[in-house]
Amino acid sequence: MSDRRARLPAWVPAVWLAVLVAALLVPAGPAAASHPNPSSQRHLHNMHFATAGSAAGTYDEQFCVESRDTSKVSHAAARSFVNQTLTQMGSGRVWDGLGEWRIDLWPTDSHCSSYPAATRNTIEIEVHYAWDWSGRCGGPANYYNCVVHDNPVWNATHGHYDSRWAYVYLVFSSGGRLDNTGRAFINHEFGHVFGLTDDNGVCNPPSLMHSTIVGYGCGNWTNWYPSPSDFQSVRNLMG
Amino acid sequence: MDRRFPPTRLLTVLTGAVVAALIAGGIAVAATGRDSGHDHADHAHLDTASGLLVTTRSDLRMCVEAGPRSDAPDSVRTVLLTALDRARQAPGWSGAYGRFGYDPATAVHLGCPAPALPERYDRTVLAGPGLTDDPSAYRVWVYVLDDPTADRVLGPDRPAGAGTAELMREAGNLFPVSTALLVRQSRFADPTALAQDLREALGLEPRAPDQIG
């Protein structure tokens, strides 16, 4: 007759005890603590600094706007729309003025290629409209908008390289639209100019950088303007 | 006949299954971990805390498309090393490159891996492969241009110009990791001017004045 009340082997409770201890000691993953791009140094140099005054100064951010198809969108219309989006839509909705005016955006009077090289080299940001930027941004034709940083220079004050120039490439099918979708993409791409990353898949805190309005997966921020945490993340990067 | 599985035996079998799963998982993680570790060690990432700009570079190297100077490789190497020696007098050198330095024997490589000269120069030009996830060992790509080519690409009055040779994308940002330096042949013969060009190409000085016009 077999013993149906056999004693439990000693290793069995030991295993479960080890599992319990491991569960208590292994730290949680970093997702819960995620914040849009808290450590990126891929940003425009001048956002660390400010120049006081009523005109574009040494450490302000001047931008020019250019259209590759002026029958679709003229240089002037594109410039007006970008300027409106970045500087005129009201407090809490624009990048302009952030961080005690360390971000201080100024449009140029004309389109980028109208300036001689020496003058153009003094403009920190170029915004380009076209049907297709796959040669710059990668991916399929007519699809991606992107930001390309340029002229990386050692920032001795903060101990990193950052960029003196940035180019924003917008496609007419999304970022180049002159509506709230276009505004969302402009603000998203300028988030990249100021160091934010996409962080797709991490939805908290709410951010325009991973919003459904710009084609990402998070529906908890569907406005065309940056979220409060986006503004705070850029402030954090300013140092 | 009692077909019930004794609870003690059931618990023992279940625990045995858990142990087996943990062992299998451990083996899998260990195997994957080696893979990841290998990948992380070899796969380039942006590193803006260093002048080399990517994690796969361990010392400063340049490649050069010598063009009209191709028949004098030793001279090309000497000129560039002299200019580099002057360029490192820049104040930012120690912070950006000091912990890496360079080996004169390997700092200048004749020939770049995928040279690509633009039709016309402006500040947005790409002079190299452009977007890549496997950047070269070369932080600076030097193109020496004969006068007709320099006149066509740079324009008749410009002695040199810098652009991007390679850039990487991370999380929606594209950032340069190699600088292209397009130099007119006559400029290449002037070590002081070339050192200034190199300082700008290495990101030790901005390529343009800070002051807005």
Residue of B nearest to A57 (CA): B212
- pLDDT recorded at residue A233: 92
Contact A216, A200 (CB under 8 A): yes
- pLDDT recorded at residue A5: 57
Mean pLDDT of A4-18: 73
- pLDDT recorded at residue B204: 94
Q: CA dihedral in degrees (A213, A219, A225, A230; nearest 10)?
A: -120
* Antiparallel, parallel or unpaired: β B46-47 and B53-54: antiparallel
B196: closest CA among B51, B100, B89, B122? B89
Contact A221, A192 (CB under 8 A): no
Residue that wins the pLDDT comparison between A22 and B148 = B148
B128 φ/ψ angles, rounded to the nearest 5 degrees: 160, -165
Contact B158, B121 (CB under 8 A): yes
Q: How far is B137 from chain A (nearest CA, A)?
A: 18
- pLDDT recorded at residue A59: 83
- Statement: residue A193 has pLDDT above 50: yes
Contacts with A207 from chain B: Cβ below 8 Å: none
pLDDT tens-place string over residues A214-238: 999 999 999 999 999 999 999 999 9
* Lowest-confidence pick of A30-44, A106-120, A200-214, B138-152: A30-44
Residue that wins the pLDDT comparison between B189 and A74 = A74
CB atoms within 10 A of CB A68: 16
Instruction: Extract the residue ranges of chain B whose pLDDT is less than 70.
Output: 1-5, 22, 24-42, 208-213
Distance, CA of A44 to chain centre: 11
Contacts with A159 from chain B: Cβ below 8 Å: 49, 95
Angle between helices B7-42 and A11-25 in degrees, nearest 10: 40
Q: B156 at the A interface (CB within 8 A)?
A: no
What's the rounded Cα separation, in Å, for the pair B208 and B50? 21
Q: How far is B6 from chain A (nearest CA, A)?
A: 6
- pLDDT recorded at residue B31: 39
What's the rounded Cα separation, in Å, for the pair A143 and A221? 22
Q: A58 at the B interface (CB within 8 A)?
A: yes
Q: B52 at the A interface (CB within 8 A)?
A: no
Contacts of A28 (CB under 8 A, 6+ apart): none
Contacts of B167 (CB under 8 A, 6+ apart): A148, B126, B130, B131, B132, B174, B175, B176, B177, B178
- pLDDT recorded at residue B94: 94
Task: Place A26 in a pLDDT band, splitting at 50, 70 and 90.
Answer: very low
- Statement: residue A67 has pLDDT above 70: yes
Residue that wins the pLDDT comparison between A55 and A129 = A129
Establish whether the linkage from the previous residue to A205 is cis, with ω within 30° of 0: yes
Looking at chain A, the whole-number percentage of residues with pLDDT higher than 90 is 70
- Among the residues of chain A, which ranges form H helices? 11-25, 75-87, 98-101, 117-120, 134-137, 180-193, 228-238
Contacts with B11 from chain A: Cβ below 8 Å: 8, 12
* Lowest-confidence pick of A43-47, A143-147, B23-27: B23-27
Contacts with A48 from chain B: Cβ below 8 Å: none
User: Which ipTM score applies to this complex?
Assistant: 0.77
- pLDDT recorded at residue A33: 26
Question: Are A197 and B124 an interchain contact pair (Cβ–Cβ within 8 Å)?
Answer: no
What's the rounded Cα separation, in Å, for the pair B12 and A12? 6
Q: A9 at the B interface (CB within 8 A)?
A: yes
Q: A109 at the B interface (CB within 8 A)?
A: no
What's the rounded Cα separation, in Å, for the pair B160 and B156? 11
Residue that wins the pLDDT comparison between B194 and A9 = B194
Query: Which of A37, A113, A152 lies closest to B203 in CB terms?
Result: A152
- Among the residues of chain B, which ranges form H helices? 7-42, 73-87, 93-96, 147-153, 185-188, 191-201
Angle between helices B191-201 and B73-87 in degrees, nearest 10: 70
Query: Which of A8, A41, A120 lies closest to B8 in CB terms?
Result: A8
Question: Are A197 and B51 an interchain contact pair (Cβ–Cβ within 8 Å)?
Answer: no
CA dist A57 → A88, A104, A239, B7, B162 (Å): 19, 9, 20, 79, 24
Question: Are A119 and B167 an interchain contact pair (Cβ–Cβ within 8 Å)?
Answer: no
Question: Are A154 and B95 an interchain contact pair (Cβ–Cβ within 8 Å)?
Answer: yes
Query: Which of A9, A60, A153 lies closest to B212 in CB terms?
Result: A60
Question: Are A40 and B173 an interchain contact pair (Cβ–Cβ within 8 Å)?
Answer: yes
- Among the residues of B57-123, which ranges form H helices? 73-87, 93-96
Instruction: Give the single-character DSSP code of A176.
Output: T
Residue of B nearest to A138 (CA): B131
CB atoms within 10 A of CB A171: 23
Residue B174 is which amino acid? L
